[in-house]
Amino acid sequence: MYKVRLLFEKLEPACYTSHLDLMKALQRSLRRAGLPVRYSEGFNPHIVLSILIPLSTGYRSVCELCDFELTCDDMPPDLVPRLNRVFPLGLRAIHAGPAVRPVSQAAACEYEIRWHGVCCAQQVLTALSDALCVEKRSKRGSKQVDVRSYLKSFDAADREGDTICRCVVQAGEDPLNPAYLTLALTQSAVLPQDVATTYTRCAILDANGKEFF
Amino acid sequence: MNNQLAACLEHVKKPSRYTGGEYGSIVKDKQAVDVRFAFCFPELYEIGMSHLGSKILYGLLNSMDGVWCERVYAPYVDMEREMRARGVPLYALESGDALSSFDILGFTLQYELNYTAVLNMLDMAGIPFYSSQRPELTPLIIAGGPCVYNCEPVADFFDIVVIGEGEEVLPELIALYRAARSAGLSKKDFLRRAAGIQGLYVPSMYEVSYHTDGTIAAVAPTGGAPAVVRKRVIADFDKAYYPESFIVPSTEIVFDRAMVELFRGCRRGCRFCQAGYTYRPIRAKRPETLEKQARALVDNTGYDEVSLTSLSSSDYAHLETLCESLVSDFEPRHINLALPSLRADSFNLNLMENIQKVRKSGLTFAPEAGTQRLRDVINKNLREEDLQNACRVAFQAGYNGVKLYFMMGLPSETDEDLLGIASIARNVLQTFRENARNRARGVRISIGVSTFVPKAQTPFQWCGQIAQEEIVRRQQLLMDALKIKNVTYSLHGWKASFLEAVLARGSRRLAPVIEGAWRRGSRLDGWDECFDLDHWTQAFAECGVDPAFYANRTMGKEEIMPWDHIFSGVTKGYLRREYDRSLQGLPTPDCRISCGGCGALSLTGGKCDV
């Protein structure tokens, strides 16, 4: 038995695949690759697979992590290229290794947010120098939060006719979807309504700010 | 992906149906191909991607040198709105190129209620609707699929309609197109040559004249077109092209699994069933061929389910040996076999238990009618004891649910026949109580009742659909009768069935009506939330067309039908004999017991794998 952790990219067009559909796509890819994956027991056997930190549909990512189990004791050395041969367009395996650290040690995610066709980095930074409140909804109801309390760091710059913000956002128990930052900035009139926005997850970090794997 | 498209995708549900890039989709070098074919499915992605015929033709066309076939589906309402607002034309999923840049657009006509989607897709591509408005050879707009057996309502939109099996005739059509293009032929000259190929129907080469009462006076071929267009079929089905891989969608579709096709055609001859007549003669694949194809598909797609499809899978002669062999291979790999289209009278529990070792699915049977009398009229040669017997065996084995499909409004139907549906449901419930392994778990009996739609090229093609008020009355009668414990039922809305009946037996006079309904906003008429009969009612009025003339009228024995110049292989004389037998309540034995001489043998020179 070997528990694999896979680091992979999810870019266009795979970024439009939803979380559940991605699970299925990964399971099918594992079968196509002919890897000796472990199935669940019981009435409806399926490949045991988990995606560590779900990503919203439409978001790009260069740092997705998923775990699955092999029935053999060692990881095939060609696992990454074998997966890449059978992945749908936009998915690319980068690295695989033993799944050791529990997901609870993933403390934050770094995102790049690109607001298209605007030039407002300075206004964004100014808005973030003070409390920036927004209504955050979750399964347990909604509450008013200060977006800044979720941001471990942030920066913004204007480039190529867009405003690009890089920020490290709290993950774990009480995560914040970076779309709330766009929403808060729209509500405070820093960003125009319906601004075209691209989100890219750049890294998953542990409590020390080091890359989590 | 361009920014405009990305902006559309930000605002729609299920964006991955519009992106392409699925595993198995085929991308070729544009510079290295000379024929670009857009396979257009006038339905949503999840429906179109489930369709086996498209997968076969996609694979076949892409296996041809110099041909690149791509897929196009109808966008849902939200995506259409975004695309139109941003000026994004309809595009093909593989290249993202606008539909207007293709050489050939091939629409598959699976269902009459998709017709407005055809127009909407043409409109979103900026292509004029009528063949006569497109003087150039390119783009060529063609159609195929089951609706071609009466495609007269949409005939004016298409340059060519493929009658029969696309695998057989499309390569010839493409060769002719290539030759015509390099010779600089006009569209008219090209079409004239196309009409000389068996299975290619060129609607513009037929002049239809009408009597004052709206019935057809004559359908006159012009320019040397044949008086009757004969269906093309594959003679050696076992050797026919079959894809070794499917496109594996990145989002859930309706039938998300590998499929192999046991046989084409059906020997049962249910008189309402269009496929049962138009796919004749019966041609089966050898079990070894099917095993090979199933294994290749599983290996190449990563699917964990393989469906053994056909019109009546329990009629496949080698079903047990095929299943045994596949199960022994697939079970250890956690791959499930699915066996849809089973008949209750040939239900075999050993077989079901054997194939469903991995995952147990539900049981579905289609008695179609509530009494033996009516089942004889429609030639559904199924006795209620066969059904109850199948249910008994299944309940004893631990099944605790069954779905039963029926039709209402069948020719000669009485209230007694309708109440028979409820009586069958009660008897199944009783069978459960007497035989269930575990009664405490309870039973779920689901009854689905659709409204009968008479179809062209069937023995019931002469029949009118019952009037709307009568449908409503009978549905109410059924709803009252089906209030039974443990029984759930669903009745299809009559409005869509009525429109389907109009279009299924309609003539060319309906083309402007379809256009009128589209102009009023009809798009995806097969979807309840999109369908609005008012659009159609207004369009009928605007064009001076009485829909009841097509839907509800019983046609005369000598009358020329709008589709008489399309020959499916089954003769009109045979259909009439079957119709007359139905009026007498006489069933016809299935083709294995004795050949009824339907005529389809003329297409294959005498070969029929009953």
Q: Say whether B16 and A13 touch across the interface (CB within 8 A).
A: yes
Q: Does one domain contain both B76 and B141?
A: yes
pLDDT tens digits for range B14-62: 999 999 999 999 999 999 999 999 999 999 999 999 999 999 999 999 9
State how far residue B24 is from chain A, nearest Cα, in angstroms: 8
Look at residue B477 and tell me if it is in a domain. Answer: no
Q: Say whether A32 and B359 touch across the interface (CB within 8 A).
A: no
Phi, psi dihedral angles at B217 (to 5 degrees): -85, -45
Bridge partners of residue B103, in order along the sequence: none
| Closest chain A residue to the Cα of B334, Cα to Cα | A45
Q: Does one domain contain both A112 and A78?
A: no
Q: Say whether A32 and B252 touch across the interface (CB within 8 A).
A: no
State how far residue B331 is from chain A, nearest Cα, in angstroms: 11
Report the amino acid identity of residue B210: Y
- Give the C-alpha separation, A66 to A49, whole Å: 7
Q: Does one domain contain both B170 and B311?
A: no
A chain contacts of residue B14, beta-carbon cutoff 8 Å? 18
Q: Say whether A14 and B10 touch across the interface (CB within 8 A).
A: no
pLDDT band at B442 (very low <50, low <70, confident <90, very high): confident
CB A198 within 8 A of CB A113: yes
pLDDT tens digits for range B140-164: 999 999 999 999 999 999 999 999 9
Residue B100: predicted pLDDT: 94
Look at residue A131 and tell me if it is in a domain. Answer: yes
Q: Does one domain contain both B262 and B185?
A: no
What is the pLDDT averaged over residues B297-313? 94
Q: Does one domain contain both A164 and A76?
A: no
Residue B440: predicted pLDDT: 84
Range A48-52, long-range pairs (CB < 8 A, 24+ positions) = A49/A23, A51/A19, A51/A22, A51/A23, A51/A26, A52/A103, A52/A106, A52/A204
Mapping DSSP onto H, E and C, the string for B246-303 reads CCECCCCCCCCCEEEECEECCCCCCCCCHHHHHCCCCEECCHHHHHHHHHHHHHHHCC
Domain total in chain A: 2
Complex prediction ipTM: 0.92
Residue A139: predicted pLDDT: 80
State how far residue A206 is from chain B, nearest Cα, in angstroms: 30
What's the domain range around B37? 3-230
Mapping DSSP onto H, E and C, the string for B325-383 reads HHHHHHHHHCCEEECCCCCHHHCCHHHHHHHCCCCCCCCEEEEECCCHHHHHHCCCCCC
Look at residue B475 and tell me if it is in a domain. Answer: no
Residue B357 pLDDT exceeds 70: no
CB A67 within 8 A of CB A100: no
Q: Does one domain contain both B202 and B285?
A: no
Look at residue B449 and tell me if it is in a domain. Answer: no
What is the pLDDT averaged over residues B4-8? 92
| Closest chain B residue to the Cα of A19, Cα to Cα | B251
What is the pLDDT averaged over residues A189-194? 93
Q: Does one domain contain both A113 and A189?
A: yes
Q: Does one domain contain both B199 and B254?
A: no
Residue B314 pLDDT exceeds 60: yes
Q: Does one domain contain both B108 and B145?
A: yes
Q: At which of B178, B199, B230 does a domain end?
A: B230
- Give the C-alpha separation, A151 to A125, whole Å: 13
CB A151 within 8 A of CB A122: no
- Give the C-alpha separation, B565 to B158, whole Å: 16
Asked if the peptide bond before residue A13 counts as cis, ω within 30 degrees of 0, the response is yes
Q: Does one domain contain both A94 and A110?
A: no
Residue B361 pLDDT exceeds 70: no
Bridge partners of residue A142, in order along the sequence: A137
Q: Does one domain contain both A191 and A118?
A: yes
Q: Does one domain contain both B219 and B256?
A: no
Look at residue A42 and tell me if it is in a domain. Answer: yes
Q: Does one domain contain both B212 and B260?
A: no
Residue A183 pLDDT exceeds 90: yes
| Range list of β-strands (E), A11-117 | 49-51, 60-70, 91-98, 106-115
Q: Does one domain contain both A119 and A201?
A: yes
What is the pLDDT averaged over residues B238-260? 96
A chain contacts of residue B360, beta-carbon cutoff 8 Å? 43
Q: Give the residue with greater pLDDT, A42 vs A21.
A: A21
SS3 assignment, position B474: helix
State how far residue A122 is from chain B, nearest Cα, in angstroms: 25
Q: At which of A69, A100, A131 does a domain end?
A: A100
Going from the C-alpha of B541 to that of each of B501, B510, B545, B547, the distances in angstroms are 17, 12, 6, 9
What is the pLDDT averaged over residues B261-270? 96
Residue B359: predicted pLDDT: 58
Q: Say whether A21 and B6 touch across the interface (CB within 8 A).
A: no
A chain contacts of residue B18, beta-carbon cutoff 8 Å? 16
Q: Does one domain contain both B62 and B181?
A: yes
Chain center to CA of A136: 19
What is the pLDDT averaged over residues B478-497? 94
B chain contacts of residue A29, beta-carbon cutoff 8 Å? 23, 302
Residue B339: predicted pLDDT: 84
| Closest chain B residue to the Cα of A37, Cα to Cα | B333
What rounded mean pLDDT belongs to chain A? 95
- Give the C-alpha separation, A92 to A109, whole Å: 20
Q: Say whether B23 and A14 touch across the interface (CB within 8 A).
A: no
SS3 assignment, position B42: coil
Residue B198 pLDDT exceeds 90: yes
Q: Does one domain contain both B44 and B152?
A: yes
Residue A127: which CATH number? 3.30.70
Q: At which of B185, B200, B230 does a domain end?
A: B230
Give the residue from B18, B251, B300, B306 with the most A CB atoms within 10 Å of its CB, the best one to mutate: B251
Q: At which of A50, A69, A100 does a domain end?
A: A100
Exposure b/e, B593-607, CB count within 10 A at least 16 = b = eeebebbbeebbeee
Alpha-carbon torsion B569, B575, B581, B583, what sign?
Answer: positive
Look at residue A211 and tell me if it is in a domain. Answer: no
Q: Does one domain contain both B259 and B201?
A: no
The region, left, alpha or beta by phi > 0 then psi within -120 to 50, assigned to residue B599 is left
Q: Does one domain contain both A20 and A96?
A: yes
Look at residue B412 and tell me if it is in a domain. Answer: no
What is the pLDDT averaged over residues A62-73? 97
What rounded mean pLDDT belongs to chain B? 95
Interface of B with A (CB under 8 A): 1, 3, 6-7, 9-10, 14-16, 18-23, 25, 248, 250-252, 299-304, 334, 358-360
State how far residue B16 is from chain A, nearest Cα, in angstroms: 5
Give the residue from A9, A10, A28, A38 with the most B CB atoms within 10 Å of its CB, the best one to mutate: A28
Q: At which of A100, A133, A156 does a domain end?
A: A100
From B15, B252, B302, residue closest to A32, measured CB to CB: B302
Look at residue B205 and tell me if it is in a domain. Answer: yes
Q: Does one domain contain both A96 and A126?
A: no
Interface of A with B (CB under 8 A): 12-14, 16-18, 20-21, 24-25, 27-32, 34, 39, 43-46, 57-58, 86-90, 116, 196-198
pLDDT tens digits for range B407-438: 999 999 999 999 999 999 999 999 999 998 88
| Closest chain A residue to the Cα of B21, Cα to Cα | A89
Instruction: Using CB atoms within 10 Å of the CB of residue B244, give its burial: 0 to 12 exposed, 13 to 18 middle, 19+ buried.
Output: middle
Please count the residue pairs, one from chain A and one from chain B, whose beta carbons lie less than 8 angstroms apart: 88
Residue B349 pLDDT exceeds 80: no
pLDDT band at B356 (very low <50, low <70, confident <90, very high): low
pLDDT band at B277 (very low <50, low <70, confident <90, very high): very high
- Give the C-alpha separation, A152 to A170, whole Å: 7
Residue B516: predicted pLDDT: 98
pLDDT tens digits for range B65-95: 999 999 999 999 999 999 999 999 999 999 9
B chain contacts of residue A87, beta-carbon cutoff 8 Å? 23
Look at residue B80 and tell me if it is in a domain. Answer: yes
Look at residue A172 and tell me if it is in a domain. Answer: yes
Look at residue A212 and tell me if it is in a domain. Answer: no
Look at residue B416 and tell me if it is in a domain. Answer: no
Look at residue A87 and tell me if it is in a domain. Answer: yes
Bridge partners of residue A203, in order along the sequence: A110
Q: Does one domain contain both A147 and A57?
A: no
What is the pLDDT averaged over residues A159-177? 93
Bridge partners of residue B91, in order along the sequence: B98
Residue A45: which CATH number? 3.30.70.580
pLDDT tens digits for range B592-601: 999 999 999 9
From A18, A87, A196, residue closest to B10, measured CB to CB: A196
Q: Torsion angle, CA of B591/B594/B596/B602, rounded to 10 degrees?
A: 70
Going from the C-alpha of B84 to that of each of A125, A193, B71, B434, the distances in angstroms are 36, 20, 20, 60
Residue A119: predicted pLDDT: 95
Residue B235 pLDDT exceeds 80: yes
State how far residue A104 is from chain B, nearest Cα, in angstroms: 29
From A21, A39, A88, residue closest to B21, measured CB to CB: A88
A chain contacts of residue B357, beta-carbon cutoff 8 Å? none
Q: Does one domain contain both A129 and A83?
A: no
pLDDT band at B358 (very low <50, low <70, confident <90, very high): low
pLDDT tens digits for range A103-149: 999 999 999 999 999 999 999 999 999 899 999 988 888 999 999 99
From B9, B302, B303, residue closest to A58, measured CB to CB: B9
The fraction of chain B above a pLDDT of 70, given in percent, is 99
Domain total in chain B: 2
SS3 assignment, position A137: strand
Q: Does one domain contain both A55 and A118?
A: no
Residue B360: predicted pLDDT: 59
Look at residue A213 and tell me if it is in a domain. Answer: no
B chain contacts of residue A182, beta-carbon cutoff 8 Å? none
Q: Does one domain contain both A20 and A49?
A: yes
State how far residue A94 is from chain B, nearest Cα, in angstroms: 18
Stated length of chain B: 610
B chain contacts of residue A57, beta-carbon cutoff 8 Å? 15-16
Q: Does one domain contain both B333 and B254?
A: yes
How many C-alpha atoms does A43 have within 13 Å on its Cβ side? 2
Q: At which of B230, B259, B292 does a domain end?
A: B230
What's the domain range around A44? 2-100
Structure tokens, A73 = 């004791």
Bridge partners of residue B306, in order along the sequence: B258, B337
